[in-house]
Chain A
Amino acid sequence: MRYKSQKVAYWFFALSMLLLTLQITYGFIMGFAHMGFDGLHEFIPFNAARATHNNLLVVWLLSGFMGAAYYIIPEESKQELVSVKLAYLQLISLAVVGVAAIIGFHLNWWEGRKFLEIPRELDWLVVINVLLFLGLIITTLWKGKRKTTTSLVLTMGLFFAAILYLPGMIWFDSQTLDSFFRWWVVHLWVEGVWELIMGGILAYLLIKLTGVDREVIEKWLYVIVGLTFLSGVLGTGHHYYYIGTPRYWLIIGGIFSALEPLAFLGMALFAINMYRRSGRSHPNKSALYWTIGSAVMSFVGAGLLGAAHTLPAVNMYTHGTLVTAMHGHLAFWGAYGMLIFAMISYVLPNLTGRKLYDSAASMYAFWLANIGMVCMTCAFAVAGIAQVYMERKIGLPFMQVQEEIEVHFFGLILAATLFTIGCMLFIYNFIKYGQPTDEALLTDAEQGDVMA
């Protein structure tokens, strides 16, 4: 850690881990319900569990991104954060909005719009919160002595993520238009501007962990985010196949979705090549594992599995089935979950001055969580493909098919247990690091960073 204000990041990561734990809990509730054990139906009906599970994902990832920004921006711009007090205020208000939304979901206070279930009244608080966050980041960047490509790409991602939240707040009478603009938020976030954030964080980690020249890394960062937008913006079309929208989206969406894996392939090759070019290796192996792992798993989950079911002829059958859940889990985990884990793994030793990076717990955390998530993806795939054939191809009634595939959710729960043990080991390690301290103010070299 170079700047005292970077300590704020720790608390955003802590909130992030707390929400992840809750998200996993609700995932289990849904998994059991799919297996036929819905004993909690009266208190937590499936739609409440589902809205909670999805929104906790969004909030823990956003909290992780914000933590990453509060750590990266001061260091990249060589400037203390303009106000630490306001950053803590922003953290608390984020937690309050999140908790209020989740309690609301259990009391039937929400909007039935997948991923954007937070009611409009609370949306305004989200807007204020994000404006405060952006204000702090942008003024710090503005006052800073150095404006790097990495920090600009990261800030640009955060800025556009905020702007793109707005189309989701417009009311439409037509279900089609409602959905059309809901995807402006959801798709253009996860397959657009969030990838800028991902690219920025990845570039920062690679600079620190591999010591490859910043100019080289940042050049490829531009190429990758360029590929992301080139494919991802028109790739939004894959959500406009079958919702009452014109046929040309089938062609445009099909072609550009098929190109989307290229950006993720670029990301994976980028990370692996930079690692190979690095002369000396960084002592923080777990941060390296999570960083390279994230780049590879995002290619598999978001890139390959995404492209596999966005071909219009395939999507005609898989649209609205568990195949989507298969892709969704590995994509979010690989691209965003693992990247936040990478950032936390890199940052914690620097904030606390304790070098616990290669403990057994941190290595088991990596392998168990990843093997668990891959197995979960397989369980969803089997259930989803069976559902597609029985329901869509043969024409059996929905509920009859669901009873047939219940057994695969037993497999899912076993895999999820493995995944959970991995995540809990990671959090155990997180707690063992203790809280950040000013005594950990060190230079890059003292932190063990590989210097260019």
Chain B
Amino acid sequence: MLSKEQARLFFLGGTFVVSVIFLAMTWHSIVREIPNQTHEQNITPEVVAGKQLFDENNCMGCHTILGEGAYYAPELTKVYGRKGEGYIKAVLMSPTPWQGAAQRKMVAYEMTEEEADNMVAFFKWIGEMDLNGFPPEPDKNLQP
């Protein structure tokens, strides 16, 4: 039967081994793979400014991006391709709470032209990432 000493060894040894593998994979991901998959060279100062605005206003508190966030407002990963620059800027610069066809309202952020341009740059960069197939294409056989 397993002794307490062996159980402790299992805990410490196992944790050490998986942690080393995890750190090695992390290093490989952030140094080799993520820069290519996310087109790191395209992160311009405008994109960074856009990300900062995205953070400062807690956009993730209603929307999702890369599938992460809250589930109250639309996914924004592909918003640039789906809605286009004009629509995005109109929403962000609107002086009254934006309301699409549905009844849910968005906070009126009243962004300046420059801020809205930065947000657009951020969404464009996000939309071009290689996300291993996410978000999935709808199933053609299920179309009404």
Contact = CB atoms under 8 A, between A and B. Distances in A.
Given A50-B62, A117-B58, A225 B134 contact: no
Given A320-B75, A398-B75, A234 B66 contact: no
Contacts, number: 210
Interface in A153-208: 173-180
Contacts of B28: 246
A240 B37 CA distance: 13
B139 A393 contact: yes
Given A174-B43, A226-B10, A230-B14, A112 B59 contact: yes
A245 B27 CA distance: 12
A284 interface: no
Contact of B66 (A117, A243, A249): A243
Interface residues of B, number: 71
A38 B73 CA distance: 13
B105 A244 contact: no
Interface in B87-121: 97, 100-105, 107
Nearest to B71: A322
B34 A177 contact: yes
A31 to B, nearest CB: 11
A244 B138 contact: no
Contact of B134 (A41, A175, A241): A241
Given A46-B61, A47-B62, A174-B38, A392 B135 contact: yes
Contacts of A387: 71
Contact of A219 (B7, B60, B104): B7
A219 B2 contact: yes
Contacts of B139: 393-394
A135 interface: no
A45 B102 contact: no
Nearest to B12: A226
A114 interface: yes
Tell me the dominant secondary structure on chain A's binding face. Answer: helix
A223 B7 contact: yes
A247 B28 CA distance: 12
A392 B25 contact: no
A161 to B, nearest CB: 15
Contacts of A320: 64, 67-69, 71, 75, 135
B58 A400 contact: no
Give the interface residue-count category, chain A.
35 or more
Contacts of A243: 66-68, 131
Could you say which of B10, B34, B37, B59 has the most chain A C-beta atoms within 10 Å of its C-beta? B34
B143 A394 contact: yes
A244 B130 contact: yes
A246 B37 contact: yes
Given A179-B68, A240-B29, A252-B25, 20 more contacts: A33-B104, A47-B57, A48-B58, A112-B56, A112-B58, A114-B70, A175-B51, A179-B66, A219-B7, A222-B4, A222-B11, A226-B14, A229-B14, A229-B15, A249-B25, A325-B71, A392-B135, A393-B138, A393-B139, A393-B142
8 contacts: A47-B57, A47-B61, A174-B34, A174-B38, A177-B30, A222-B10, A252-B25, A402-B102
Top 8 A-B pairs ranked by shortest CB distance?
A47-B61, A395-B138, A320-B67, A242-B134, A226-B11, A399-B102, A222-B7, A112-B58
Interface of B: 2-4, 7-8, 10-11, 14-15, 18-19, 21-22, 25-26, 28-30, 33-34, 37-38, 40, 43, 47-48, 51, 54-62, 64-75, 97, 100-105, 107, 126, 129-139, 142-144
